Amino acid sequence: MAFGSLAASVRATADGCLDAVPVTSPDSAPLCHAAVSSTLPHRRPLAISAWAHERRWSVRGEEAFQGMLLVDGRTDDLAEVARAARAWHEGAPLEDIRQVAPFVHLTGRFEVPGNDPVRLTRSEWQGMRQEAAELEYAWQENYRNLIEAAHADPALRTLYPFTSHWALRFSSTTRPDLTVVGPSLSADDDGTYGVGRGFITQDLGQFATAHEAVAVAVRHLPPGIGPATLDG
């Protein structure tokens, strides 16, 4: 509050490392938000947010084409935020950003500057597998098994994966405009796996293992589908 905006506060804490870096706060909520642009066109500005009831800050860094999350993190050290912001602005590799600011969490997705659909699909699978591996609750082990079984299948691996309400679905195009193809897969609390034609349905069967469910889903894919292409 003393500095008038989160942008000014981040800059003041940066010990000069952000002097030549554009850091802005919106007029609507200057104390709560700030943004730091990147020299890389395939990165959106790094979003910085101040927590309302704790002395803590969070960051969020997305790629520009799909708007998918590359890095996030939370810390009570604003100087760490400034170091992350400088590295993001300068185009440092994602792993290097975490080295200079260890609070930064890498989502598993990697950057695809040329928007190659095959690499975008591979990046999304990698991010989905890491997200599943990081889940903390015991019942989510079934979900992890489902993700790994689907990724292990060559036909499904060429399609762009996405989830909704823990249901795994597939698209023949990348984001931002998905083209849904094939059945949906779901993991149930009782350890079984469902396959359905619609959203979170199991009209194609319920199975004891993820691999059985994946095999049924593959049999119901349209012929000749994949690999995923850019939307439209």
pLDDT attached to residue 165? 84
Output the six-digit token pair for 98.
């975490």
Minimum mean pLDDT range among 40-44, 46-50, 141-145, 198-202: 198-202
pLDDT digits (tens, 9 = 90+) for 138-176: 778 999 999 999 999 999 999 999 998 889 999 999 999
Mean pLDDT of the chain: 95
Residue type, 175: R
Gap between the Cα atoms of 232 and 216, Å rounded: 28
Edge to edge, the sheet with strand 105-106 lists 23-24, 33-36, 46-50, 57-62, 69-75, 105-106
Using CA atoms in the order 133, 138, 142, 147, what is the torsion angle rounded to 10 degrees? -10
Cα–Cα–Cα angle for 195, 170, 94, rounded to 5 degrees: 130
| In the chain, % of residues over pLDDT 70 | 100
Per the DSSP assignment, residues forming a β-bridge with 206 are 194
pLDDT attached to residue 29? 95
pLDDT attached to residue 232? 56
* Rounded mean pLDDT, 62-91: 97
Gap between the Cα atoms of 225 and 155, Å rounded: 8
pLDDT digits (tens, 9 = 90+) for 67-77: 999 999 999 99
Gap between the Cα atoms of 37 and 101, Å rounded: 17
pLDDT digits (tens, 9 = 90+) for 182-222: 999 999 988 999 999 987 788 999 999 999 999 999 999 99
Residue 138 neighbours by CB distance under 10 Å: 7
pLDDT attached to residue 215? 98
Cα–Cα–Cα angle for 74, 80, 86, rounded to 5 degrees: 110
Per DSSP, helices labelled H in the chain are 6-13, 78-90, 94-100, 117-134, 141-152, 154-157, 210-219
For residues 109 and 124, the answer to whether their CB atoms sit within 8 Å is yes
pLDDT digits (tens, 9 = 90+) for 90-110: 999 999 999 999 999 999 999
Output the six-digit token pair for 202.
């199991």
